[in-house]
Amino acid sequence: MLNGVLQLSLIESCYLIGKGRLVVHVDDSEDMDYDGIRDFASSFQDEFDVRLSAYSDLRARGLVVKTGFKYGTHFRVYEASPDDCHARYLVHAVSDDDLKMWPEISRTVRLSGGVKKEILFGRVHKNRIQYLEFKWFRP
């Protein structure tokens, strides 16, 4: 809540509308449905559907998902309430055809290790998510 108003991310809003847990009133005569908020969000955020798929999958697994913006990833993920624990994972959603360069992957892995979190790349393929974990080690 922010000044008596519920403030949610576009991904969280879309997810909750899709689950029938949220109604967004645009004006007195119209509510925004799932497709409307998804189209709206997609016009502002690149690869919104890829991130929404990963977000939905993580939530379906019973995890608490928050923005990972300050870590340069899409999400930080908690196994319980963020009030009771630190995030265990950083998750970056990638599409099936996304190409990452090793320096970018290395940078992400090093950052996650520096903040004591596991980094997972969530590969979105059709309606399935595969998670790939990278770990930093010294040879």
Query: Is 117 among the catalytic positions?
Result: yes
Which amino acid is it at 26?
A: V
Question: Of 78, 89, 92, 116, which residue is the catalytic one?
Answer: 78
What six digits make up the tokens of 6? Answer: 């519920």
Contact 13, 22 (CB under 8 A): yes
> SS3 of 36, please?
helix
Question: Of 117, 125, 131, 135, which residue is the catalytic one?
Answer: 117
Question: Of 86, 89, 126, 131, which residue is the catalytic one?
Answer: 86
Query: Is 78 among the catalytic positions?
Result: yes
Phi, psi of 134 (to 5 degrees): -115, 140
Query: Is 66 among the catalytic positions?
Result: no
Enter the DSSP assignment of 56: H
Q: Annotated catalytic sites, by residue?
A: 78, 86, 117
